[in-house]
Amino acid sequence: MLFEVWAPRAQRVTLQLSGRPVEMARDPGEDRRGWWRAEAPAEPGDRYGYALDDGEVLPDPRARRLPDGPERPGAVTDPERFGWRRPWPGRGLDGAVLYELHVGTFTHEGTFDAAAGRLGHLAALGVTHVELMPVSPFPGRHGWGYDGVAPWAVHEPYGGPEGLARFVDAAHEHGLGVVLDVVHNHLGPSGNRLPEFGPYFTDRHHTPWGAAVNLDAPGSDEVRAYFIGSALAFLRDYRLDGLRLDAVHELADDRAEHMLAELSRAVDSLAEDTGRPLFLIAESDRNDPRTTAPRAANGLGLHGQWNDDFHHALHAALTGEAQGYYADFARAPLAALAATVTRGFFHDGGYSAFRGRRHGRPLDPGTTPAHRLVGYAQTHDQIGNRALGDRLTTLAGRERTALAAALVLCGPFTPMLFMGEEWGAEEPWQYFTDHQDPALAEAVRSGRRREFAAHGWAADDIPDPQDPATRDRSCLRWPEDPERAWYGARPERPEEAERLEWHRRLIAIRREHLPPGLRLAEVRAAFDEAAGWLVVHSGPLAVALNFSAEAAVTAGLGPGAFELLAATHRCAPPGPGGRLGLPPESAAVLVRGDWAREPGDGVPGSG
């Protein structure tokens, strides 16, 4: 077996394989400067690591398995030995319904295998893709996953590489694709040994986590290859459908070709080689059209991005919250929602009071497919970064969360649910850690309490991230019988079954009536801020919402013949002139029978 490692500053590198040393030699290749290699017999499961200049044995930066934790030697693996039970043609982003899932709290067991046992629920719901939060190793057992330190490996307490492969295989048997959240903008504060191998980080740029990942300084060719290789390995070896890229605005890169463009080019090439559609979804704070613009048009070529503007406008409309970044949206939340669904971004070059400056640039509605933007009412960030981790059901009530579901699932953007949202789960999802370094654990605990004390919270009210009870409170509570068709809802709580059925119906309506390739130019909105109603037309689908808690309203649908498909409350079919009566806090979904694309309209490529 060939062992290779990049260690450009080392004078001597020794492979430690199953307790025996093997001297490594410099790779003579002109394009392999700094690489060391050695041939040695090995079998899957054999422990190995590298000693640089006779120092301690370090884990391989490209280790696929770290059975004893991220600071201990890795284990030899062979991804090709996994026995996949069925072929997988892949599922693209257009037409997708995403479901964000944290392996460690989706079930109390917190493993891939336990999570796989619940996938039948998601398939019956109508979800198309499971979006896993990060699974790279981090010290300890429990955490969100954004403190990972080994981007090529899989967290062993979840089940390691084979556990992930089993989960993906089970998802495919249910017809579900899998998307993985990956973190390329930083590594965790504990257990990161990459700087001992080479210039993986640079002081040329700084991020909220310290020195930036080296994407443009000397040695950055290999650093970029390291992260791109990791992304391709997960897509190829685990048969994933896509990756969600965490906080790409923190990827500092001054080179002529941004690392994200290089990554998207490599992923598109892999998709062509495998014959499967593959996609990249960015989390970006920039509201920059270049994020998803084609590389040929000097864009980064990513296939989609999370749309926080949509979340913020919807959250402000549902809860009335106006603190922090909600302030820009809370002044006129229905106007903000209407602007966001029709233009893609609310902040598209105008002034942001929260930032104290103008922010964003406009998308081109005529060429931008609506599915490139991911819309959601809840995510791990928007729940877990609150002081108490309270969900939207707790903040806004069940009636109003039904309105959110209608707009998310039958609106123009690719919808995403956060685990448990589909039945209105009320248990919080809080910030929890399992740092093994006592000083780091105390710093995180006191830092979080200090952060929220500035907003008026008492320190004792803030959950201790290190307390195991914080993670336990965040686990979904499932019924005991896993064979029930709708086993997300507990039989003793009929309101959960009702909310689950509402989500199922909305997803079915979306699948039947929303045309592929819908462009932002084919989305219209009408609203009355004072009365509290909003209507969003996504091609032939119309979502009518009454946010007023007290008054019934008459919403204007506009011209055309509409058929009522679903509603939260009993309401009459639309009257003459396209007027629809809506009770307080209600939603209705309709389809326009005479809708058709304008002659000559094409469906733009969706990537």
Catalytic residues: 246, 283
Number of other residues whose CB lies within 10 A of the CB of residue 324: 10
Q: Do the beta carbons of residue 82 and residue 93 sit within 8 Å?
A: no
How far apart are alpha carbons 71 and 65 in whole angstroms? 12
Residue 60 CB-half CA count within 13 A: 26
Q: Do the beta carbons of residue 246 and residue 184 sit within 8 Å?
A: yes
Number of other residues whose CB lies within 10 A of the CB of residue 300: 25
Task: At 303, list the tokens.
Answer: 């296939």
Q: Kindly give, in sequence order, each residue whose CB lies less than 8 Å from that of residue 572, ignoring residues fewer than 6 positions away.
A: 581
How far apart are alpha carbons 556 and 104 in whole angstroms? 45
How far apart are alpha carbons 172 and 168 in whole angstroms? 6
How far apart are alpha carbons 590 and 535 in whole angstroms? 10
User: Across-strand partners of 279?
Assistant: 242
Could you give the angle at the alpha carbon of 479 between the alpha carbons of 476 and 481, nearest 5°? 135
Q: For 599, phi and psi rounded to 5 degrees?
A: -55, 135
Cα 286 versus chain centre, distance:
17
Q: Kindly give, in sequence order, each residue whose CB lies less than 8 Å from that of residue 102, ignoring residues fewer than 6 positions away.
A: 132, 133, 144, 145, 380, 419, 429
